Amino acid sequence: MIGRLHSFRASLGIRTQIIVLLVGTQVLAHAVTLGFMLHLSSEPDRRSEVIRDLSDPMLVALQLVDDGAPGFERLVQIDPRFSLAASAPDGAPLPEVDRLIAQTIPTGIADTVIPFTLAEDAGWPPAPRVQPFGLASPLADGRWLVFTPQPDLIARTMPRVASLLALSLLALPLMLLSIWAGGWLVAPIVRLSAATNTFARDISAPSIPEEGALEVRQAIIAFNKMQQELRQLIDDRSRTLASISHDMRTPLTRLRLRLETIDLAGEGHAFERDLSTLEKMIDDALSFMRSAHHTVSLERTDLTALCQTVVDGFLDQGHRVSLLRSDRVVVCCDITLTMRVLDNLLSNAAKHAGEATVIVGTDVASGRAKVVIADKGPGIPQDLMAFVQQPFNRLPAVASGDNADKGGFGLGLAIAGELMTRQSGSLELSANAPNGLKATLTFAPEGAPA
């Protein structure tokens, strides 16, 4: 149960969690207040409180009468709750009230106090289990001292239904304020989260405004600084490699020209092959560096048609490549980057396996579009699949011997993985039983943020 609760919480964003916390606190506070009000108005002990409130002023008046104080007549004149009557008030007997009066008023006085019922519309505040009543006591001159309680004005003008309505109206703006406060508090964190995703795809993404609470501002400042330093590091590396590559092309060109004018008696092909290897190494390095600087431009694309275009290009070159037809699959992707990924993977399959099959479809569980490029070549050992996806890493069997030229320089899979990551997608390698390799491209959902 606790594990499910943690999983549910982890599935909610921080904005939702804070709003739920604030709104839940308000709801709980109002529920406790409402429950307390209902409890006070419905518990049996409420009768004792009402009787005590009525008995106290009656006890004071009777003590004034017993003491013969002149203030008694004045009390009757100024306090509208007291009156003098020629006879006892009419009313049904209230034995329960009699018992409670005996517990509240001293015995000598309680024996002379008689409760009497009041009409239901006497204005008393609604209180279940409390029968409206007054108190009366005979005086020595034959008259009766009558105490009729006055209803509370607030309780009269605000009955229970109105009280609940007022409480609800008070809770509504507090909940709205909580929702606004939750959104305002987490807005900088949401921007920081979005900026990290954007920076993973676009190295030139703008810095984040330094707003929010102190801790959030400190995190944003650190992120902006890291972003600037990484951008500077990549720019410096790119300029260095581009400069080296440019400087190397000039002597390579001179070597090629001299090679054409020199008779090396059969060694010319070996020199030509070495020069071509160096040029390809430079081209691959520059291509890898350019992949980090390409601005991603996502657009809705028919993935099946895009794969058909790439496959047709390989068929025109004489490669054995086929596409398994499927329904139209639409994704948001960068067309240029996706075509480069497909070209790299199909080139590897054609080079090492001599054939490849492209399958386009949609994963039923996640709803994400996928492209599978499967071949029946020698494949890659399971424990080396992560290794070969790193730049300049090649399989030992390919990096040496006669296969060195055929294997490239270990950048094809690294470039493909980088280009898919920049589109919020992924590249995954797996075995194609009984032999061969499967490269699975998974694309971001169509509505995913760029």
Please work out, in degrees rounded to the nearest 5, the angle formed at the alpha carbon of residue 428 by the alpha carbons of 427 and 432. Answer: 135
CATH architecture of 202-293: Orthogonal Bundle (1.10)
Burial string for 140-152 (b: 16+ CB within 10 Å, else e) reads eeeebbbbbbeee
Rounded CA separation 113/61 (Å): 12
Other Cβ atoms closer than 10 A to 73:
11
Region at 129 (left for phi over 0; alpha for psi -120 to 50; beta for the rest): left
Q: Give the phi and the psi of residue 32 in degrees, each rounded to 5.
A: -65, -45
Q: 251 or 58: which carries more pLDDT confidence?
A: 251
Q: What is the arithmetic mean of pLDDT over 10-39? A: 69
**What's the maximum distance between 2 C-alpha atoms anywhere in the chain?**
152
* Model pLDDT, residue 150: 66
Q: What is the arithmetic mean of pLDDT over 329-356? A: 90
For CATH 3.30.565.10, the residue range(s) in the chain are 295-442
Pair of tokens at residue 255: 């070597």
Q: 178 or 330: which carries more pLDDT confidence?
A: 330
pLDDT band at 386 (very low <50, low <70, confident <90, very high): confident
CB distance 130 to 158 below 8 Å: no
In CATH, 295-442 is 3.30.565.10: yes
Pair of tokens at residue 10: 């982890």
The 10s digit of each residue's pLDDT in 101-140 is: 666 666 666 677 777 777 654 444 444 444 567 788 888 7
The 10s digit of each residue's pLDDT in 395-448 is: 776 555 455 455 566 778 888 888 888 888 899 999 888 888 999 999 987 655
The 10s digit of each residue's pLDDT in 181-191 is: 777 777 888 88
For CATH 1.10.287, the residue range(s) in the chain are 202-293
Total-model pTM: 0.50
